Amino acid sequence: MRSATIERKTNETDITTTINVDGTGTYDIKTGVGFLDHMLEQLARHSLMDITLRCDGDLHIDQHHTTEDCGIAMGQALAKALGDKKGITRYGSMDLAMDETLTRVALDISGRPFLIWNVEFTRDKVGDMDTELFREWFQAFSQHGGITLHVNNDYGENNHHIAETCFKALARALRQAMSIDDAQADRIPSTKGSL
């Protein structure tokens, strides 16, 4: 089983997360931010990763530290669970539709983190979550997961749908990229010999 636990404690947040890459999509997530919980539950369900996450953050200030630090811890847990990345497919992509919204995600579990984020929101909040914080989570996750990640929302009107398609498309692309490629199950998918 490709699984890892990360504990991250700062003056702003206290986080424990476990990610099992070879799971069934079960989750037990409590960040203190309802809409973030909902998005991370979507990530688990559609990637088939099992995710447990507990965060005690400084929500009396705002949701920024909680959101960013959850992304950091989850990225670290994923990178640790994948280890040397031997046998993975490495690349994944998904065009994901949800009602009037279409979002495209393409990624490379390369060890070279980079985020392209072409997503715009027309409201400041979805639920009680600031929409500017979605990019912060994706940036932290890609940076600490060692993932080149492109997220493009082609169109959409409902801000809930826009956010949700970003997480679901990420989940489906990750599921593809993390899967074991039977044709090279004992090799690292790079001419460099390491990722």
The answer to whether 35 and 128 are in contact (CB under 8 A) is yes
Each residue of 40-93: pLDDT tens digit? Answer: 999 999 999 999 999 999 999 999 999 999 999 999 999 999 999 999 999 999
Where does 3-184 sit in CATH, by number?
3.30.230.40
User: Mean pLDDT, to the nearest integer, of 89-104?
Assistant: 98
Residue 23 is encoded by which pair of tokens? 């799971």
What's the predicted TM-score (pTM) here? 0.97
Question: How many C-beta atoms surround the C-beta of residue 64 within 10 A?
Answer: 16
Each residue of 170-184: pLDDT tens digit? Answer: 999 999 999 999 999
The percentage of residues in the chain with a pLDDT greater than 90, rounded to a whole number, is 98
**pLDDT of residue 135 exceeding 90:** yes
Quick one: pLDDT at residue 1?
85
The answer to whether 85 and 146 are in contact (CB under 8 A) is no
Cα 35 to Cα 22, 42, 97, 133, 149, distances in angstroms: 25, 11, 20, 11, 22
Run of H or E including 75: helix 64-82
The answer to whether 75 and 62 are in contact (CB under 8 A) is no
- Report the mean per-residue pLDDT for the chain: 97
The answer to whether 181 and 89 are in contact (CB under 8 A) is yes
